[in-house]
A and B are shown apart, each in its own frame.
Chain A
């Protein structure tokens, strides 16, 4: 083939330029340590890198969230541990108080200490975190979770917060609560089930002697909607030496208790210490609604 003089020069120059371009790219790859310098180097790879970078940044944020969550839960745990320790100490003191060798002064000292423990627990219930937020107040963390009102009717310690729980994101799908509300921890705790005498005798000396039997009875029969259904009327039956109970609301028979005139009787774990004589009209027993113990510190 015929070659013109300019072709000879052009060809070598073209090759030199091409190689210089390639060299420049490789040098940039070396300098940046990256294989993909621009999206066109590997369009699919570039998109993947972008999504992976996004994922990495998100995981970094989850790590931060994780640390915050751990801190917050550790603090709560420490506070609850302190509460447990305090209550344990109160229990010790209560046991100690039962001992016959204590004189008045000793008991007074025990009382003072129990008072201190009460105040300490109250303080712990209003614990605050580093931001000054009351950790047991739910979402309303600007104000104390519990307040003490000596003039209040009923419970003197009143929960002011709500049941709100903050959650933190630990992965794309997992969120974990970063604490508990005082409602769940201190308020919504079942108290011992109890019953009252509501009529038929002036004296009232009912107490639960067989808690298990009473709990079962309560569980099976308690009516939260119609309080009248929780009253049971007993009538002494002199013939069978029994007290027959009917439900005061539904008027259905509710079982009977054996009866000896002038002696206490027991009905489903409720021990009536009043000594009724034969011919006494009736006894009214009312199972009380469940109460929550948290508000019952006096």
Chain B
């Protein structure tokens, strides 16, 4: 009889526990991270129901899968989110740099059509301002995106650290709870722990392992420990060397003794996406835009310099080109030392979008001190630029003079200045990022529309008494460097910068006329009719000056680009035919240089591939459309990746939910079932009681 009572009460207690678990499931149906629980009992050998065990019901493999897929989704979503913003800004026609360039070159054509029209020239300067503004707008947008990204990296990094910390704390609590009460799984705590792990998985790709005592140990997928079994943990720290704008992650051990650098590309999750987006898209696009801006500025400046403006002066710069200061690496002996750089004249055809890392390999004292340096081309992520054979692109230079004001040109269209003399130390490294912010640094320097050099500075006039029918077909100007005082620079030209083209550069009198002595022989004479060089047996009448330069006796051999102009003829000259060469004084209506400026729109003047260099050139607008289609292509891929990641994540969430999720119908039926069992157990109790009373009354 006593047995019946204990059976009944154990039954009542058991059903109550079942009802509790069911009610808990029902009330937490909408709680994120809640895993349904089941209470199971074992029958007691002495009768009645025994000890209850409450456990969470879920599929461990589905949970692992879900964590992995969450990392992938976190990556794809953030990457897609970030790249869509860039995609959209490049899609906006009002922001199109291509359209701005088209407008600029159209205005240049209109000005060339009427070189004396000041309004048309003013229009060119206006369009130049607007084009530069467009570059600047885009670059500022991208720079803002980078600032935003850095903030996001910082806050996401902090969140990761918080999660690592809270996982470590929860691990400790779970361990204690499980030791205290081995029969009741600490469901709420474990749900919290799983939820934290899942959130961490969304931020970075992790490799969680069960510690065996209910705790979860966490490694990054690349193997670094984040949460360890002994309750310690590693935290992420942000830094940037040498570019503090370019954040890098490192792992700090608990005592802060060691900083382990992390390969950001392997991080995965949202943080990995931020790093990938920065290195693949943002920094690359900024540099490519900068490259277009610099190449455009340099090409136009250079061509304008080969012309003559409306005032009859040699052309000046249209744009003011930025100069670049190096960033020093943290390991440098003296952090105050620096290297300056600028685009070399005409460097647009070799300027790449790469960063240039300069390493000092030897310092020789002297006046000036000379340096041996190595130059390495780097991608935005710090990896080496590879040439088509897969070899890193590098250059070594020996005996580079280190003094302020002396520039040494290197491959890639730059020239370097080492202003600190002999103070450089071996193994000092400097990073120059010429194109990173260049799109915002390009400005219009020209203020007077008259300064636009649409005319050519050279004039070649046939003599009225020429008998032959030879006429000038083309004249080109390659060099207008003015140097009229000894010592003469080897780059000097015949132009004197004061309305003349007869600068003899200290050698003798400059060429002033061509006199034919036969159909294929001519003399180059100076202003006084004195022979400078006689060319006989000319194969054709192309580039007469080049032919004169190649003839023995050419006195200006020390000046490779002298006189700096050339011309070709067609037709057959007769002996005695004379062509006078002179400065294009008053040639205001000339547009020869204007046509050359126009040609730059179509000309292949930019390096397409950093690894190949100047052997593969494209035009500005081609380069820009490459940037846009590159971003579009990456955005399209990101879109597909995101959709795929969503579908996969959805599926594994389904799988996980189908075991761990609460089904209200199921719980309702359980409720009825357990309630009935409870009533029945109660009934057992009343039965036991009435049996007891029966016994009592029979005794009475």
A residues lining the B interface (CB < 8 Å): 1-7, 14, 36-44, 46-47, 50-51, 53-54, 57-58, 60-61, 64-65, 68-69, 131, 133, 137-143, 162-164, 166-169, 172, 175, 178, 183, 187-188, 222-225, 289-290, 292
Contacts and interface: CB of A to CB of B under 8 A. Distances in A.
Contacts of B90: 38-39
B584 A139 contact: yes
A225 B628 contact: no
Contact of B661 (A6, A37, A188, A222): A6
Nearest to B463: A188
Given A40-B84, A175-B595, A139 B116 contact: no
B109 A65 contact: yes
Given A133-B116, A163-B461, A37 B586 contact: no
Interface string B76-88: 0000000110011
A4 B663 contact: yes
From A7, A223, A289, residue with most partner B Cβ within 10 Å:
A7
Contacts of B590: 139, 164, 166
Contacts of A47: 625-626, 628-629, 632
Contact of B586 (A4, A14, A143, A187): A143
A139 to B, nearest CB: 4
A178 B113 contact: yes
Given A3-B658, A7-B657, A50 B113 contact: no
Contacts of A140: 585-589
Contacts of A6: 29-30, 657, 661-662
A61 B108 CA distance: 10
Q: What secondary structure prevails in chain B residues at the interface with A?
A: helix
Interface residues of B, number: 77
Nearest to B26: A5
A222 B455 CA distance: 39
Contacts of A3: 658, 661, 663
A132 B633 CA distance: 53
17 contacts: A6-B657, A38-B87, A38-B91, A39-B629, A40-B87, A50-B621, A50-B624, A64-B110, A131-B114, A141-B116, A142-B588, A164-B459, A166-B590, A167-B591, A167-B595, A224-B574, A225-B575
Contacts of B517: 225
A168 B589 CA distance: 13
Given A14-B650, A225-B575, A54 B621 contact: yes
Nearest 10 CB-CB pairings of A with B? A4-B661, A39-B632, A224-B576, A40-B635, A43-B632, A47-B629, A38-B91, A139-B587, A141-B589, A43-B633
A14 to B, nearest CB: 7
B375 interface: no
A47 B623 CA distance: 10
A176 to B, nearest CB: 11
B178 interface: no
Interface stretch (B94-102, B478-486, B505-513): B94-102
A143 B585 CA distance: 12
B529 to A, nearest CB: 13
B117 interface: yes
Interface string B348-370: 00000000000000000000000
A38 to B, nearest CB: 4
A52 to B, nearest CB: 10
